[in-house]
Amino acid sequence: MRAITLLLAALVVSLSTAFSAIPDISIVGQEGGLPQKLPGGYVKKMSRWSVESDQPENISRDAGTGLALERLPTEGDDTFVNPTSATELWWPLDLEALQVRPCLEVLMQGGSPRYALAGLTVRVPAHSSGDCEEWRNYGLNSQPLARQWTKFEFAVEGGFRIECFVGKNADDGEEDESDGVNGGEKDGDVSETMKEEDETYLWDRIFPGELGALDDRPSAHAMFASQRMDEALESVAVFLSNVDESSPLANGFHLVSFPLTEQWTDLPRVQNEKGYKLLCLATAEPDAEALVEMDEGLVALTATSVLNVDVLPTASGSESQYLPQSYRTLYCKK
């Protein structure tokens, strides 16, 4: 019996590794124009952190900055799995809602920023979880990571910002309004198309969101998003000024996210097995919308960081016979 148990455990680990492997990371903005490559397997093992300003009192907070550093649970913490994915975001069928929040993600080396990434934090909101708590690591492929990074120096240049889009297959037809972004209200309809692998996508902007009469002006979105980036960079500067030898970030490589807004956005429900795309661009280009349609090779020349994942439905976590103990309170309602 013990041999069978160990065999099943080994099978689960091998399947988890196969389903959650990420491709090599491309780092753009290098001298000479050619991108560098960073092994995806190495990046996947990096600790991921978030810097928060509105966490509960039980989360450690730096008294001098008012900012809290929180680590994302991962493989090796109890029975959690590694949630990082650069290609897919999974939505278990028994989770009623997922929410996202754009962020500037920074690769830290020895306590100093080295690369800037387009970031998107995902959570299961409290009202959708079995224990009425917020969850960010809700299983495999639950936290996206940009596949293309840029040098941190570009982040502090004027006009650098992050804009995010949802792309749905044009063949799927119009969705019901109740399934739209933000619970039925569509933000910033981009009404542009993008070809990918002989498929056409229709894109809606979800950040910075709807700007009323200025919604059709890329410069207005760029200005608003740049303001949010400036605020995030101020948080980066304040936070880094308090990183000392006692900090968990003082040694090695770490991925640290700084939110661009405190507001969380409901993701549209997945309507079919093809799902849809989530695209975030960290760029200083004047028109981020134009990059949506651009060839990947040309986007790399713009020193833009790109996060691009497929949102796909998966089986209910509560019905899995291999559900790790760490997730039982999330999926198994009392």
pLDDT tens-digit readout, 248-299: 999 999 999 999 999 999 999 999 999 999 999 999 999 998 898 888 888 8
- Tell me what pLDDT residue 61 has: 43
Give the model's confidence band at 191: pLDDT under 50 very low, under 70 low, under 90 confident, else very high. Answer: very low
- Tell me what pLDDT residue 334 has: 61
- Rounded to whole angstroms, the Cα distance separating 207 from 188 reads 8
Place of tokens 């002989």: 198
Average pLDDT over the chain reads: 85
Residue 332 has pLDDT above 60, yes or no: yes
Place of tokens 């148990």: 5
- Tell me what pLDDT residue 257 has: 98
Residue 18 has pLDDT above 70, yes or no: no
> Which tops the pLDDT comparison, 163 or 217?
163
Cis before 208? omega within 30: yes
- Rounded to whole angstroms, the Cα distance separating 69 from 108 reads 14
Query: Which segment, 186-190, 195-199, 272-276, is predicted with the most confidence on average?
Result: 272-276
> Which tops the pLDDT comparison, 313 or 220?
313
- Rounded to whole angstroms, the Cα distance separating 146 from 51 reads 18
Residue 214 has pLDDT above 80, yes or no: no
- Tell me what pLDDT residue 53 has: 82
Angle at 251 between CA 53 and CA 123, to 5 degrees: 35
- Tell me what pLDDT residue 14 has: 41
How many residues are given for the chain? Answer: 334
- Rounded to whole angstroms, the Cα distance separating 102 from 57 reads 24
Q: How far apart are the first and last CA of the chain?
A: 31
Give the model's confidence band at 21: pLDDT under 50 very low, under 70 low, under 90 confident, else very high. Answer: confident
The pair of three-digit structure tokens given for residue 238, joined into one six-digit string: 């304040």
Give the model's confidence band at 34: pLDDT under 50 very low, under 70 low, under 90 confident, else very high. Answer: confident
- Tell me what pLDDT residue 161 has: 96
Q: Name the DSSP letter for residue 332.
A: S
Residue 123 has pLDDT above 80, yes or no: yes
- Tell me what pLDDT residue 13 has: 41
- Tell me what pLDDT residue 211 has: 66
Average pLDDT (150-173) is 91
Residue 62 has pLDDT above 60, yes or no: no
> Which tops the pLDDT comparison, 287 or 58?
287
- Tell me what pLDDT residue 91 has: 98
Residue 107 has pLDDT above 90, yes or no: yes
In the chain, what percentage of residues exceed pLDDT 90? 66
CA dihedral sign, ordered 258, 243, 22, 74:
negative
SS3 label, residue 319: helix
Name residues whose C-beta falls within 8 Å of residue 193's C-beta, 6 or more positions apart in sequence.
Answer: 170, 200, 201, 202, 203, 293
